[in-house]
Amino acid sequence: MGQATGGSAAGGPEQQALFGWSETAPAGEARRLFRDGPEARRMLDVREVYAEPAALDSPRGQQIVARLPGARVTEVPNHWRIPSLHGNDGNVARWVRTKTETLVLGVKHTLATRPNGRSADWIAPGPSNGCAMACAYCYVPRRKGYANPITLFTNIEAIVAHVRRHVRAQGPKTEPNQCDPEAWVYDIGENGDCSVDALICDNTADLIAAFRGLPTAKASFATKFVNPDLLTLDPRGRTRVRFSLMPVEDSRLLDLRTSPIAERVAAAADFLDAGYEVHFNLSPVVLREGWQRDWADLLTHLDDVLPARVKEQAAAEIIMLTHNQALHEVNLGWHPRAEEVLWQPAVQEAKRSQNGDLNVRYARDVKQRSLTRLRQLLATHAPWLRVRYAF
């Protein structure tokens, strides 16, 4: 657990609750869920469902479709290949419409947990892939393309059973590491955003409930969306939510459809009080003119508004931007201003990955210098924010 040593940590103004999640609804009135309100519908207003027959027949599939009474359902043989849906053709207006109005239901056949060792000990088989948001640097579309709406996997019982077996097979964690001092950490949201998935199904809730009963493990997911419905899920400290943060100026340019940075920061205390561990992903760090000043402003903002109880348990991951030539070319077609900051050949080097993609990252010396500078900014403006890992 980190030491609260900085600025207002030991007695500054307490952050007001953003959502009043703990207020009980008046007698006889059900608490209205965020997912049924207009803000949620701006993110997801599903009118078209493509579903594998087995997904449609499953209890989770039926539950999801029952919540979408007006949606047209089309059966597809495979969630991976829906030619009318996936790909990079078109422009952002079309992608956003697809991401808002289309949902895919599939069955995850390969249930495998992979070792990670950086952010998490393990990457669990995710309950979804694809995303309703549209960040310009996102690596999630690499296989289905940008017009890549959420695919929900409906065999959630099998996913949960697999994870439970895997956790039990590990036994207790005996050596602390950068992921966590005591618990085995499982990333449950590698290929999407669990907070947005929870607008439309209970997969996120089911995984959080499962980890509640696994005292040697912890779920973890990064998010760029504040979904107050997650506050009711009672994770009892066994789920770590990592709010992704970047300077507001970068976020406005690069983080399309996400919750504003100030809202993600303002939600931290509510999530902690609701039983989550709350960490921050400082990511991606994009090097451009003025980046040091803007990161200093962001860290100062965190120091000013986060209450001591959030600071005492917070930790951060720092992830420098990784880009990709194919993504660069797609982005030039719809968001060239993003590429003015993402694509910086003078300071980036390319490396061909195993699957043939040309990935681009900051040159080693540039990266090391920038990480050193960012750690200095942290020490100055948010010394309570322990860095779990920097990459």
Contacts with ligand SF4 by CB under 6 A: the residue count is 10
User: What are the structure tokens assigned to 172, written together?
Assistant: 């207790």
Of the pair 133, 342, the CB lying nearest ligand SF4 is at: 133
Q: With respect to ligand SF4, which residue has the nearer C-beta, 228 or 284?
A: 284
Residues 196, 97: Cα–Cα separation, whole Å: 16
Which residues, 6+ apart, have CB-to-CB distance to 122 below 8 Å? 113, 114, 115, 116, 166, 184, 185, 186, 187
Q: Which of 180, 190, 193, 197 binds ligand SF4 (CB under 6 A)?
A: 193
Closer residue to ligand SF4 (CB): 125 or 192:
192
Residues 233-262 that bind ligand SF4 (CB under 6 A): 258
| Contact call for residue 133 and ligand SF4 (CB under 6 A) | yes
Cβ distance to ligand SF4 smaller for residue 76 or 131: 131
Strands 277-285 and 239-245: parallel
Nearer to ligand SF4, 17 or 391 (CB): 391
Question: CB within 8 A of 197, min separation 6: which ones?
Answer: 127, 128, 150, 152, 203, 204
* Residue 170 CA to its chain's centroid (Å): 26
* Piece of the chain touching ligand SF4 by CB under 6 A; list 31-39, 58-66, 118-126, 130-138: 130-138
131 binds ligand SF4 (CB under 6 A): yes
Considering only 138, 209, 274, 314, the residue that binds ligand SF4 (CB under 6 A) is 138
Q: Contact between 135 and ligand SF4 (CB under 6 A)?
A: yes
Beta strands in 55-108 (DSSP E): 72-75, 102-106
* Using rule CB under 6 A, residue 224 touches ligand SF4: yes
The verdict on 120 binding ligand SF4 (CB under 6 A) reads no
For residue 378, the tally of other CB atoms under 10 A from its CB is 22
We find the least distance from the C-beta atom of residue 80 to ligand SF4, in angstroms, to be 18
Q: How far apart are CA 378 and CA 279, in angstroms?
A: 15
- Which residue from 88, 86, 85, 81 is spatially nearest to 52, judged by alpha carbons? 81
Q: Which residues bind ligand SF4 (CB under 6 A)?
A: 131, 133-135, 138, 140, 192-193, 224, 258
